Amino acid sequence: MEPNQNLLTENELITNGERIREERILNQIYQEPNTRFLGIPLRLHFYNLARPKIDSILYQKYIVDSTKQRFMIGLLSKKQYERFLHSKLEFNQWIKRTGEEPVIVSREDTEKSLERLKSWYWNNGWFNVEGDYKIIPAEKPKRALVEYTITTHKPYVIDSLETLISSPALDSLYQLHEAESLIKEGVQYNTLDFNDERDRLTEIFRNNGVYDFDQEFISFDADTINTNHRIGTTLIIKNRRNGVNDSVTEPFKIHKISKVNIFTDYTYANRDKPIADSVNVNGYSIYSFDAMEYKPEAVTDAVFIKPGSVYSDLDRTRTYNRINSLRNFKYPNIQFIPDPADSSGTDLVSNIFLSPQPKYSLGFDLDVYQSNIQKFGIGFGGSFLIRNLFGRAENFEISGTGSIGSSADAAKSANQNQFFDITEVGADAKLSFPRIFLPFNTEKFIPKHFNPFTNMSLGISSQRNIGLDKQTFSGILNYEWTPNKKLTNSLDLLNIQYVRNLNIGNYFNVYRNSFDELNNLARNSSFQFNDTSAEPVLEIPDEADEFIQVVQNGQPGVLGLSEEEYFNVVDIAQRKFRLTQNNLIFATNYTYLWNTKESLYDQEFTRFRFKIETAGNILSAVSDLANFQKNEQGQSEVMGVAFSQYVKTEIDLIKHWDLGHENVIAVRGFGGIAIPYGNSNSIPISKTFFAGGPNDNRAWQAYDLGPGSSGSRLEFNEANMKLAFNGEYRFGLYEAFKGALFVDVGNIWNVLDNTRYSDYTFDGIKDLTELAVGSGFGIRYDFDFFVLRFDVGFKTYNPALPAGDRWFRDYNFNNAVYNVGINYPF
C-alpha cells in the first residue's frame, strides 16, 4: 500500500443516533472489508504471499545475471528455462487470483456510498434526509473504518390519490380494480410501491384486452409543497400516440381475437411450402405443411387464446406453459397481428407456430453412490421415448436401469471373491396422457390451465443382493396437476407393488451380525451341532433354521436358554421373516408440493412437501366379503401373500436464505410416521425410514443410526418413525470451490409397531434426548450443471452411548464419516 492508503476494516452506519445492521441498507455501500473466515481474512493473507513486482524480480534474478542464466540454460535447456520462468509468473498470478486483493479506503467510493444511502432513505419517504461520513483510523496502523451518519428528519406519507386517465376503456378497468391499489392513504411513501402499482395496472390492462399498453404510459405526480409532509398523488395515464413521431394521440381500445391459426409442423425449411392439410375446429384453424399428425383436440386443448375473446397476456402465458409441458414441441412462437378485415383496428389474428420435437429420442444416465450396505455402487440407465403415440400428444417411454455394487459384508458363497457382488436390472414402461382420465368431468375443479396429466406405468426389477435376491413388480395410475408454477399436486389413485424374495436360504450369509448372535445363543444352549469342534458353527441355512424352529416351538427355558436368550432368538426369527417375506401393497397416496424456487440458481426459496399414503383398505374390504384365505398369523392372503395395511405420512420443509456474496443459510425439517393396522402388525421394509448417509445425518453411514438409543445392532437399521433437522452455512471459497459448515440432528424409532425393545421405541417427549447430533464441514465444486460434494461428519452427540457420556465422545477424524455426494443435500 502507498503511504497515504488505509485498509478498510469496517463500515458503520449510524441513523438518527442508532447503529443500523440491516443487510438491505448496508448493501448500498460500495466498498466492503475483505472477507473473513472465523474472524481471519485468510484470502487477503494468501494474496499478500504473491510478489508485487514479479516481472522485475525475475528479470533481475534470471535475465540480468547472465551467469545464472547460462547456468540454468545449461542445466535445463533453453526451452525448459523459458517454461521455468513462465511457471514462476503463472504461480504468482494464481496466488493473486485465489486470494483477495486488499480493500483500500477510497474517498470517491465512500462519497458514492453516501449518496446511495441518502437515495435509499429518500426512496423510502425521507425526502429531507441528510448525511455525512468520517474516515476513522484504527488502532493498528494503515487501517481505518468508515462511519456513515444519516439524519432522516420527518418522513412523508400519502395523503390522497387522484386519477387522470384519458382513455375511457382504461378508466373503466381501473375503477373495477381500484380497491386493490397498492398506494394507500396514510402509508409512508415508498418508491417500490409505485413501481409495483405500475406492474399491477399493466397486468390488469394487458389481461383485459389492451394489447398495445405498456408501463411507460403510467406516471405519477406528487405534490409536497407546503403540505406538512403529506403527499397529494395523481395517477396519470395519457392516450397513446398514433405513430412514433406523431403528436396526434388516440385512446386505448379493447382488442379482441378474431382468428386463431395454428401451424402444427412449422420449421424454417418449410416456411415457404404450401399448406398440405387443414381443419377448422371450434373456431380454430389448424394447418399442416405435410400430413396432419396431431388430432385437432391435441393442439386446441393446449391453446387458451380463444377466437372471440379479448386479448390476454395470461392466456398467452398459459398457452406457452401448456405446449411446453406436452414435451412434443419446441418452444412455440406466438404472434399477434392486426386483422386486415377489421376496419375498427381492434381485432387481432393470433398465429401460433409449433415445431415438433423428433418422434423418437434416446436418453442415457450414469450415477455413482455409496451406502452402509454397499461400499461402492454404479448405476446406469437408458430410455426410449415415443412422442404423440396415438395422435393426441401422448408420450410412451420405455426405460431400463441397471446397477452393480460391492457389498460391505460379502456373503460366504461361491461368488465371495467377486468385487461387484450386488447387481440389479429393471425395466419400466410409462404412458402419459395430457388430460385426466376419470369416468366424470374434472374440468370444474382441475381446469386445463392446471396442466393436468394422467400417467400409467408398469415396472419390473430383479436384484441380486449379495446372495439375497428379490424381484419387484409395480403398477401405478397417477394424476398430476399444477395450478401455478409454485404448486404441484400428485395423486396415485392406485400404486401396486409386489416384492418377491428369492434365495432366502442365504439370509444369514448376508446379515452376519444376526447370524453371529444366533450362533452364540446356540452355543450357550444344549442344541446339538453337526459341527463337533470346540467352537461349533451352525450350518446355513438348514441347521440355523432348525435351531430357530426348536426354540419357537418351545417356551423360555427350552434348550437351557434364559428368558432373555429365548426372546433374542424369537426377535432374530421375526426380523428374518420381515426381511424375506413377500410383500403385496395396494396403496393410494397424495403429495402436495409448494416450491418457490424459480431457477437452478435461485438461492432464496421455500420448499414444502406433504404426503399421505394408505394401503390395504380396498383389499381388506374385499377380503371380508370374499372370505380370503388366512395364514397362520391370521392375515388375509391374496395368491398366497399377505397384503399390507398401513397409513403413512411425511412432512418435509426446506428453507434457504441468501445473505449475499455467495453466503447462504439452508435448513430442513422432516417428520414421518407409518402405522400398521388391520392385516399388518409391521410396515413393509420398502416403506420404513432409515437415518444417516450423505443426504441425512452425515456423521453416520446410511442405515447405521438408530433406532432410538439401540446403537445400531444390525447391518440394516430401519423403523416406522423419523425426525430429522439439518442446517448448513454455505459460502464461497475460490471461484467454483464452495465451503459449508453443517449440523445434522435426527433419529428413527419404532412406534405402535411389533417390537419389544424399549430403546427402539418412541414413548414420548423424553425420547427426544435420543436425537443424534452430527456436525462437520464440506468442500464442494460447482460444475454449473451439478455440484460434486465432499462432507466430513463428526459424531457430536451419540444417543447410543451411556447418558452423561454422549457429547463429543467420538469427535475426531478416526471416527468421522466421509461422504461423497452429487448436488446439495437439501
Look up residue 542 and give its three cell numbers: 438348514
Cβ-based neighbours of 101, under 8 Å, separated by 6 or more: 47
* Angle formed at CA 108 by CA 107 and CA 111, multiple of 5 degrees: 85
Does domain 157-250 fall under CATH 3.10.20.310? My reply is: yes
Say what the pTM is: 0.82
SS in 3 state form for 161-221? EEEEECCHHHHHHHHHCHHHCCCCCCCECCHHHHHHHHHHHHHHHHCCCCCCCCHHHEEEE
Residue 309 DSSP one-character state: S
State the Cα–Cα distance between residues 699 and 793, nearest whole angstrom: 4
Report cis status (omega within 30 of 0) of the bond before 541.
yes
User: What pLDDT does 711 receive?
Assistant: 82
Residues 436, 385: Cα–Cα separation, whole Å: 21
Task: Name the pLDDT band for 419 (thresholds 50, 70, 90).
Answer: low
575 is written with which cell numbers?
Answer: 426380523
The three three-digit cell numbers of residue 274, written as one number: 404450401
- pLDDT-based confidence at residue 373 (cuts at 50, 70, 90): low
Per-residue pLDDT for 79 more than 80?
Answer: no
For residue 766, give the C-alpha cell. Answer: 423424553
In angstroms, the CA 509 to CA 434 distance is 49
pLDDT at 376: 66
Overall average pLDDT of the 183-187 stretch: 95
Beta bridge partners of 500: 471
pLDDT for res 513? 84
Handedness of CA 13, 17, 19, 20 (dihedral sign): negative
DSSP 380-432: EEEEEEEESSSSSS-EEEEEEEEEEEEESS--SSTTTT-S--EEEEEEEEEEE
User: Residues 713-746, buried b or exposed e (16+ Cβ, 10 A)?
Assistant: ebbbbbbbbbbbbbbbebebbeeeebbbebbbbb
Joined together, the cell numbers standing for residue 437 give 382420465
* pLDDT confidence of residue 412: 41
Q: Is the peptide bond before 707 cis (omega within 30 degrees of 0)?
A: yes
In sequence order, what are the residues at sequence separation of 6 or more whose Cβ sits closer than 8 angstroms to the Cβ of residue 226? none
Fold agreement (157-250, 256-353):
yes
How would CATH label the architecture of 256-353? Roll (3.10)
Amino acid at 472: T
pLDDT at 417 over 60: no
Q: Please return the burial class of 215, using the count of CB atoms within 10 Å of its CB with bins 0-12, 13-18 and 19+.
A: exposed
Burial class (CB in 10 A: 0-12, 13-18, 19+), 66: exposed
pLDDT at 418: 62
CB-CB contact of 280 with 259 (8 Å): no
For residue 411, pLDDT over 50 is answered with: no
Q: What is the pLDDT of residues 132-141, one digit of tens each?
A: 999 999 888 9
Question: What's the one-letter identity of residue 808?
Answer: F
Nine-digit cell string for 39: 474472524
pLDDT at 414 over 60: no
Q: How many CB atoms are located within 10 Å of the residue 142 CB?
A: 15
What is the percent of the chain where pLDDT is above 70?
A: 94
Give the residue with greater pLDDT, 81 vs 330: 330
> How far is residue 123's CA from residue 128's CA, in Å, rounded to a whole number?
11
- Alpha-carbon span 201 to 196, nearest angstrom: 9
Spacing of C-alpha 444 from chain mean position = 31
Q: How far is CA 589 from the centre of its chain?
A: 21
Query: What is the mean pLDDT of the segment spanning 508-518?
Result: 88
- Bridge partner list, 487: 594
Task: List the chain domain ranges.
Answer: 7-151, 157-250, 256-353, 504-580
What is the tens place of the pLDDT at every residue in 693-705?
A: 889 999 998 888 9
The secondary structure of residue 62, as a DSSP letter, is I
- Give the residue, 95 or 534, on which the prediction is more confident: 534
Q: Residues 512, 518, 522, 525: what is their CA dihedral angle, to the nearest 10 degrees?
A: 150
Which residue type is seen at 348?
Answer: L
| Higher pLDDT among residues 529 and 90, named by residue | 529
In whole angstroms, give the CA distance from residue 19 to residue 789: 39
Question: How many angstroms separate the CA atoms of 48 and 274, rounded?
Answer: 70
With pLDDT > 90 as the criterion, what percentage of the chain qualifies?
Answer: 65
* Predicted pLDDT of residue 245: 59
Measured in residues, the chain has a length of 826
Give SS3 for 788: strand
